[in-house]
């Protein structure tokens, strides 16, 4: 991509970037917990349609097979920073699942480990949370209480990263992970093992709704959906004037919940990358693919769509608009594989991340280095290494 495009974009993005949550860092009550699993700060609550008001608190070491009879698929919902078991995505998704799908739902609760304002410590506590979740999954599958291929992890924000890290500890490859606006701050510069990516399950689908703020911009799954460019979500300025970013972020679980029983559906069109789409250089005719709960696990690539500004958000399929002439002006083939990387947006994202870390860094350099020690690890991520050295 030419640098003439690059500079205005940089300015645009810097202006749109929301304030960074890691600034609440040096509260003395913030703790990194080094604990064992099971852990009383990480609890698992089992819901079925008939027990939705009285969920069962599971003991990962003493599971009762009868709690999972009759056999049904299992959906595991994972909240994020400042969450708990009734917080997003649970509040949006669990009721719709229990109403419309014959499934079990486990809502994990690790609220004590991700309290405000302790974002860095929350990030550092995730491996413990992930180990405890993996222990539960391993025990469920080892004891043939739930079949591995019927388990689906759905994580919002930091919970999306928990889902990705859980893959590091399970005995069998996970079948499906859904990442709902997986958290960005402190994840871009780390190794893949810290971050949700397509290696973490047979199928990883991701929805991005706050790519300039709390959510990650780069593609993180086999398929990535970017409603409204994954950026400013319609309706959020009105809904939460103080903090539209938080509204953008929560659109991901809201869209996902709606996708479970939507009659029209969220349909997106493929484009080779976010920047290409932003420049309107992708075809606006042809096949469309369904986003959300009923996404096809054969789908690959990045998809873009518009939504309504309030519930119901789904707009169904988009009418075709023939833009071949515009594309021809840019000498682009109608086959959109011609420009095929989002290297620069990713570079930019890493840059912004580094800036954010630097702000914190000035506050307490030694402490931060210690806290973020994984950043300096030399493996993987050539992109971030350029910045660090
Ligand atoms: C989907 O289900 C939820 C409750 O589970 C309900 O409020 C909503 O109206 C339903 N949507 C459609 C399109 O039926
Ligand atoms: C859940 O229970 C309600 C009423 O108890 C019933 O109407 C609904 O069909 C059930 N949902 C599923 C998915 O079984
Ligand atoms: C639970 O988390 C709190 C911090 O919120 C910590 O003080 C405590 O040691 C933790 N307990 C366990 C068993 O890890």
CA of 54 to the centre of ligand 3 (A): 26
| Separation between Cα atoms, residue 267 and residue 287, nearest integer Å | 10
Task: Write out residues with Cβ below 6 Å of ligand 3.
Answer: 31, 33, 35, 39-41, 112-113
Look at ligand 3, atom 5, and give the residue with the nearest C-alpha. Answer: 112
Tokens of 101: 């799908």
Per annotation, catalytic residue among 109, 181, 200, 205 = 181
Asked if 47 and 96 touch (Cβ cutoff 8 Å), the reply is no
Could you confirm whether domain 3-388 is CATH 1.10.10.10? no
pLDDT of 330 above 90: no
Higher-confidence residue: 251 or 377? 251
99-140 pLDDT per residue, tens: 999 999 999 999 999 999 999 999 999 999 999 999 999 999
The answer to which of 15-24, 150-159, 178-187 has the lowest mean pLDDT is: 15-24
- H-helix or E-strand spanning residue 165: helix 158-166
CA of 100 to the centre of ligand 2 (A): 7
181-233 pLDDT per residue, tens: 999 988 887 788 999 999 999 999 999 999 999 999 999 999 999 999 999 99
Domain borders along the chain are 3-388
Instruction: Identify the bridge partners of residue 39 per DSSP, sorted by sequence position.
Output: 42
DSSP characters for 93-119?
HHHHHHHHS--EEEEEE-GGGS-TT-H
pLDDT of 388 above 80: no
pLDDT of 368 above 70: no
Percent of the residues in the chain that have a pLDDT greater than 90, as a whole number: 66
pLDDT of residue 373: 44
Largest CA distance in the chain: 65
Determine whether 262 is an active site residue: no
Task: Return the ligand 1 atom nearest residue 100 CA.
Answer: 5
| Separation between Cα atoms, residue 327 and residue 16, nearest integer Å | 28
pTM: 0.86
Instruction: Identify the bridge partners of residue 207 per DSSP, sorted by sequence position.
Output: 180, 225
45-82 pLDDT per residue, tens: 999 999 999 999 999 999 999 999 999 999 999 999 99
CA-based nearest residue to 163, from 189, 191, 198, 139: 198
Determine whether 157 is an active site residue: yes
Determine whether 249 is an active site residue: yes
| CA distances, 384 to each of 87, 126, 284 (Å) | 33, 21, 34
Instruction: Identify the bridge partners of residue 156 per DSSP, sorted by sequence position.
Output: 180
- Where does residue 191 rank: exposed (0-12), middle (13-18), buried (19+ CB within 10 A)? middle
pLDDT of residue 329: 74
Tokens of 148: 């591995």
CA of 245 to the centre of ligand 2 (A): 35
């Amino acid at each position: 991509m030419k640098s003439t495009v690059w500079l205005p974009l940089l300015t645009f993005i810097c202006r749109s970037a929301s304030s960074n949550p890691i600034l609440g860092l040096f509260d003395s009550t913030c703790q990194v917990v080094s604990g064992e699993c099971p852990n009383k700060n990480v609890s698992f609550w089992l819901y079925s349609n008939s027990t939705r008001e009285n969920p069962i608190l599971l003991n990962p070491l003493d599971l009762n097979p009868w709690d999972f009879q009759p056999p049904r698929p299992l959906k595991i919902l994972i909240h994020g920073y400042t969450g708990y078991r009734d917080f997003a995505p649970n509040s949006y998704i669990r009721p719709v699942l229990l109403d419309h799908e014959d499934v079990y739902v486990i809502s994990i609760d690790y609220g004590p480990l991700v309290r405000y304002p302790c974002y860095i410590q929350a990030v550092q506590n995730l491996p413990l949370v992930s180990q405890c979740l993996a222990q539960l999954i391993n025990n469920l599958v080892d004891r043939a209480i739930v079949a591995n291929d019927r388990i689906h992890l759905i994580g919002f924000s930091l919970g999306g990263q928990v889902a990705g890290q859980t893959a590091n500890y399970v005995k069998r490859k996970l079948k499906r992970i859904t990442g709902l606006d997986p958290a960005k701050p402190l994840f871009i510069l780390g190794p893949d093992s810290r971050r949700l990516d397509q290696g973490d399950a047979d199928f990883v689908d991701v929805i991005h709704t706050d790519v300039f703020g709390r959510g990650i911009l780069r593609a993180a799954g086999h398929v990535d959906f970017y409603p409204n460019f994954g950026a400013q979500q319609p309706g959020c300025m009105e809904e939460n004037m103080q903090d539209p970013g938080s509204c953008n972020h929560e659109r991901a679980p809201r869209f996902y919940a709606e996708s479970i029983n939507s009659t029209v559906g969220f349909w997106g069109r493929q484009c080779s990358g976010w920047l290409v789409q932003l420049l309107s250089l992708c075809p606006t005719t042809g096949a469309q693919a369904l986003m959300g709960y009923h996404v096809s696990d054969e789908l690959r690539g990045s998809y873009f769509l518009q939504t309504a500004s309030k519930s119901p958000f789904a707009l169904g399929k988009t009418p075709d608009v023939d833009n071949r002439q515009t594309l021809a002006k840019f000498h682009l083939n109608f086959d959109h594989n011609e420009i095929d990387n989002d290297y620069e947006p990713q570079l930019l994202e890493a840059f912004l991340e580094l800036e954010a870390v630097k702000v914190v860094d000035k506050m307490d350099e030694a402490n931060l280095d210690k806290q973020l020690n994984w950043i300096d690890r030399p493996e993987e991520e050539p992109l971030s290494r350029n910045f660090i050295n």
